[in-house]
């Protein structure tokens, strides 16, 4: 027993310095865990090295000493556990020299954590801004598209009480009347028959010789370009004087109508040709005698022209019937025109007279009611996303297609035109097709729509020239 007690004392003595060493090193309490394990391990080691079977069972004194040792180690383990879970008030305070270094380390750690948090927050905000901050506003300026059509409606003398409304029945109250037209003109006959031709003119004969010089009829006169002319009558040129004489061309042609020049007289002696000669002050004239007669072409042209003359008088004739509140439609049937030709085919006349007469059928009706019918037809023609941007009732052209003067009824066709453009609430742009497109790609997409004349792009932020990633951030408006 003394031996066991002595060994237990040694163990205790050995373990105590370890506990003191831990305290002197002033390690943090979590690092005291190995000490507890060591102590427990020592206790178990003692029990292992001295199992109960090896202890003397009959020696009561040794058995009591062993119980005392167990209690001692149990108390020691409990005390170490208490020190682990509660602050050790008896332990010496840490050295003040280590406090700044520990504070700096903690400060650096907190700063690093703060910077990481700020960086992650900034990245998150950038991601959110990338998707939700950019926006694009597209302002579309629609182009005007022409729309034209025609419609027919009936003209009646009156509407019965049971008749439907004017806008739905396509029947308007109107009046029919006849306006007489007449025209008369003179036309030239184009048929020609040449009976003869000649070149005529006048020359002055000069005699610078000392003696008079007689010249017989048909005396030749030669021009510098060798064109030959002759005197019509005989003349006598006094010495030192001049004489006027008529000439004609030896061979008649339009080329013989030459301008003023000097002529030689080939029939004279060569020595006298410089002293006796002829000159002209005016160009010779080419003329021919013709017989004029009427050709079929003259008659056809005269008929067509006189009909056009009657049609030209329509505007002047209906001016007197115009009223601010009424529209007019007329019909002039050329086939019913009465034409009096003043000449017959082949008749020998230079000109002839043509007279024509016809009746203009005129229908008048309410302009406002007619425009109402036209606008209703236009509204039917317009697509759902288009509106009528321009229309003028003055551009409506009315034509009288058929009429019955006895019954007072007629059928009128109205030809009209206007302009249509996109409605302000039109939705022709698929915003999903614009997502993430750059400015050039957006332009190509918008140019594919003929309904768009021009457009404006407003990016936000302004330096981002690309459509947002979300279609909801793209706004399209029609001005």
Among 258, 290, 322, where does a domain finish?
290
What is the overall mean pLDDT for the chain?
80
What gap in Å lies between CA 191 and CA 296, rounded to an integer?
A: 9
Which residues, in sequence order, are CB contacts of 360 under 8 Å at separation 6+? Answer: 178, 179, 180, 181, 314, 317, 318, 330, 331, 332
User: Is the domain of 335 the same as that of 269?
Assistant: no
Name the residue with higher pLDDT: 29 or 466.
466
Among 290, 318, 344, where does a domain finish?
290
The pLDDT tens digits of the residues spanning 133-149 come to 788 999 999 998 889 99
Instruction: Give domain status of residue 46, yes or no.
Output: yes
User: Is the domain of 388 the same as that of 284?
Assistant: no
User: Is the domain of 247 the same as that of 378?
Assistant: no
Instruction: Give domain status of residue 217, yes or no.
Output: yes
Nearest to 456 by CA among 132, 136, 134, 135: 136
What gap in Å lies between CA 326 and CA 253, rounded to an integer?
A: 66
Per-residue pLDDT at 48: 46
Decide if 342 contacts 352 (C-beta within 8 A). yes
Pairing relationship of beta strands 276-279 and 242-249 according to DSSP bridges: unpaired
Instruction: Give domain status of residue 261, yes or no.
Output: yes
Ordered alpha helix ranges (H), 319-408? 367-381
User: Is the domain of 173 the same as that of 120?
Assistant: no
Instruction: Give domain status of residue 93, yes or no.
Output: no
Instruction: Give domain status of residue 270, yes or no.
Output: yes
Task: Express as a percent the part of the chain with pLDDT over 90.
Answer: 39
User: Is the domain of 56 the same as that of 183?
Assistant: no
Per-residue pLDDT at 277: 94
Instruction: Give domain status of residue 171, yes or no.
Output: yes
Which residues, in sequence order, are CB contacts of 57 under 8 Å at separation 6+? Answer: 63
Q: Which two tokens stand for residue 273?
A: 């040709």
Decide if 189 contacts 298 (C-beta within 8 A). yes
Q: Which two tokens stand for residue 385?
A: 């996303």
User: Is the domain of 169 the same as that of 199?
Assistant: no
Decide if 35 contacts 58 (C-beta within 8 A). no
User: Is the domain of 460 the same as that of 357?
Assistant: yes
The pLDDT tens digits of the residues spanning 73-124 come to 777 767 666 655 544 444 454 555 555 566 666 777 888 888 888 888 888 8
Q: CA–CA distance from 393 to each of 66, 148, 315, 321, 362 (Å)?
A: 129, 13, 19, 18, 20
User: Is the domain of 311 the same as that of 449?
Assistant: yes
Containing 117, the helix (H) or strand (E) segment is: helix 99-132
Mean pLDDT of 257-278: 91
Instruction: Give domain status of residue 124, yes or no.
Output: yes
Q: How many Cβ atoms from other residues are within 10 Å of residue 354's Cβ?
A: 22
Q: How many Cβ atoms from other residues are within 10 Å of residue 207's Cβ?
A: 21
Q: Is the pLDDT of residue 7 over 80?
A: no
Q: How many Cβ atoms from other residues are within 10 Å of residue 252's Cβ?
A: 17
Which DSSP string corresponds to 15-48? HHHHHHHHHHTT--GGGGHHHHHHHHHHHHHHHH
User: Is the domain of 31 the same as that of 180?
Assistant: no
Counted domains in the chain? 4
The pLDDT tens digits of the residues spanning 393-423 come to 888 999 999 999 888 899 999 999 999 998 8
The pLDDT tens digits of the residues spanning 451-462 come to 899 999 999 888
Q: How many Cβ atoms from other residues are within 10 Å of residue 107's Cβ?
A: 10
Q: How many Cβ atoms from other residues are within 10 Å of residue 47's Cβ?
A: 12
The pLDDT tens digits of the residues spanning 35-73 come to 444 444 444 444 444 444 444 444 565 566 666 667 767
Pairing relationship of beta strands 409-422 and 386-390 according to DSSP bridges: antiparallel
User: Is the domain of 468 the same as that of 410?
Assistant: yes
User: Is the domain of 364 the same as that of 396?
Assistant: yes
Question: Which CATH number is 227's domain given?
Answer: 2.40.30
The pLDDT tens digits of the residues spanning 231-253 come to 999 999 999 999 999 999 988 88
Instruction: Give domain status of residue 51, yes or no.
Output: yes
Per-residue pLDDT at 276: 93
User: Is the domain of 180 the same as that of 223?
Assistant: no
Name the residue with higher pLDDT: 317 or 224.
224
pTM of model > 0.75: no
User: 355 lies in which domain range?
Assistant: 136-189+294-479
What gap in Å lies between CA 425 and CA 334, rounded to an integer?
A: 52
Among 240, 271, 290, where does a domain finish?
290
Q: CA–CA distance from 84 to each of 27, 37, 78, 158 (Å)?
A: 12, 12, 10, 119
Sign of CA dihedral 439, 443, 446, 451: positive
């Amino acid at each position: 027993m003394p031996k066991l007690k002595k060994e237990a004392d040694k163990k205790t003595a050995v373990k105590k310095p370890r506990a003191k060493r831990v305290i002197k090193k002033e390690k943090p309490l979590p690092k005291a865990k190995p000490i507890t394990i060591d102590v427990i391990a020592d206790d178990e080691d003692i029990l292992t090295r001295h199992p109960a079977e090896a202890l003397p069972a009959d020696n009561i004194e040794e058995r009591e000493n062993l119980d005392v040792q167990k209690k001692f180690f149990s108390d020691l383990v409990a005390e170490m556990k208490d020190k682990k879970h509660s602050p050790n008030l008896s332990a010496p305070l840490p050295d003040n020299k280590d406090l700044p270094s520990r504070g700096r380390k903690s400060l650096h750690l907190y700063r690093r954590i703060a910077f990481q948090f700020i960086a992650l927050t900034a990245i998150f905000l950038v991601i959110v801004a990338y998707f939700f901050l950019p926006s694009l506003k597209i302002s579309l300026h629609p182009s005007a598209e022409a729309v034209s059509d025609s419609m027919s409606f009936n003209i009646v003398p009156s509407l019965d009480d049971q008749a439907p409304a004017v806008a739905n029945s396509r029947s308007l109250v109107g009046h029919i009347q006849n306006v007489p037209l007449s025209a008369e003109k003179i036309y030239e006959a184009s048929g020609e028959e040449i009976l003869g031709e000649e070149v005529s003119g006048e020359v002055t004969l000069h005699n610078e010789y000392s003696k008079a010089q007689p010249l017989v009829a048909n005396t030749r006169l030669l021009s510098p370009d060798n064109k030959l002319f002759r005197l019509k009558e005989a003349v006598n040129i006094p010495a030192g004087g001049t004489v006027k004489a008529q000439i004609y061309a030896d061979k008649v042609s339009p080329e013989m109508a030459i301008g003023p020049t000097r002529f030689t007289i080939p029939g004279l002696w060569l020595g006298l040709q410089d002293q006796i000669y002829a000159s002209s002050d005016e160009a010779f004239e080419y003329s021919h005698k013709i017989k004029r007669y009427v050709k079929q072409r003259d008659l056809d042209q005269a008929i067509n022209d006189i009909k056009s003359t009657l049609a030209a008088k329509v505007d002047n004739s209906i001016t007197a019937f115009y009223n601010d509140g009424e529209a007019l439609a007329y019909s002039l049937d050329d086939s019913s025109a009465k034409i009096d030709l003043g000449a017959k085919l082949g008749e020998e006349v230079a000109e002839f007279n043509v007279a024509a007469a016809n009746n203009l059928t005129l229908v008048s009706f309410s302009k406002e009611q007619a425009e109402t019918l036209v606008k209703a037809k236009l509204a039917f023609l317009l697509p759902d996303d288009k509106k009528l941007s321009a229309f003028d009732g003055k551009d409506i052209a009315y034509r009288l297609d058929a009429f019955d003067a006895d019954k007072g009824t007629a059928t009128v066709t109205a030809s009209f035109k206007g302009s249509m453009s996109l409605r302000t609430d039109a939705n022709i742009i698929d915003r999903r097709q614009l997502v993430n497109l750059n400015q050039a790609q957006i332009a190509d997409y918008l140019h594919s729509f003929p309904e768009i004349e021009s457009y404006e792009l407003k990016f936000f932020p302004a330096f981002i020239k690309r459509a947002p990633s979300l279609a909801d951030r793209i706004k399209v408006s029609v001005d």
